[in-house]
């Protein structure tokens, strides 16, 4: 059936009408709807598995420049914890300006504790963050 109206004249039709009562046009009988399972459906016991879309994941080396120097995350963390007040970890990571600032602050009597506290915090941060974040944040490669 082509709906509740005649396709020729648009007059309303009864549910089981085969001919339009107004214009005499035969009513087209549509085949009954068929059930189509979803595309990713697989019957139980089927050898086909449903297709599941996985989210896109960037490769681990995305954002890491191959020209960056090789450095060890664990060494940087231990240097920061043990010798953080002298800025040795900053020199190790190639940040000489920050290393000099740490040394100057350590030489002052008033602010000598600041680099030590910062070094402790940075050392813990280095050791707890994942490899990719360590590489991108410090512009180094670890492998």
Give tens-digit pLDDT for 96-114: 999 999 999 998 878 888 8
Put simply, whether the predicted model's pTM sits higher than 0.85 gets the answer no
- Provide the CB-side half-sphere exposure for 131 (13 A, CA): 11
Q: What is the mean pLDDT of the chain?
A: 81
Tell me which residue has tokens 């990713």.
40
What string of H, E and C letters represents the secondary structure of 1-70?
CCCCECCCCCCECCCCCCECCCCCCECCCCCCCCCCCCCCCCCCCCCCCCCCCCCCCCCCCCCCCCCCCE
Helix (H, G, I), strand (E, B) or coil at 141: strand
Report domain extents, the chain. 1-33, 73-138
Instruction: Answer whether residue 80 shows pLDDT above 90.
Output: yes
């Amino acid at each position: 059936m082509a709906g509740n109206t005649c396709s020729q004249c648009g007059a309303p039709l009864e549910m089981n009408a085969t001919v339009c009562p107004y214009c005499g046009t035969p009513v087209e009988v549509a085949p009954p709807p068929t059930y189509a399972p979803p595309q990713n459906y697989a019957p139980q016991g089927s050898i086909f598995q449903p297709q599941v879309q996985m989210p896109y994941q960037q490769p681990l080396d995305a954002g890491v420049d191959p020209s960056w120097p090789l450095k060890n995350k664990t060494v940087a963390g231990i240097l920061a914890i043990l010798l953080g007040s002298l800025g040795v970890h900053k020199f190790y990571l190639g940040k000489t300006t920050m290393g000099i600032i740490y040394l100057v602050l350590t030489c002052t009597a008033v602010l000598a504790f600041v680099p030590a506290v910062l070094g402790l915090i940075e050392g813990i941060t280095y050791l707890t963050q994942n490899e990719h974040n360590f590489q991108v944040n410090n512009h180094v490669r670890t492998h």
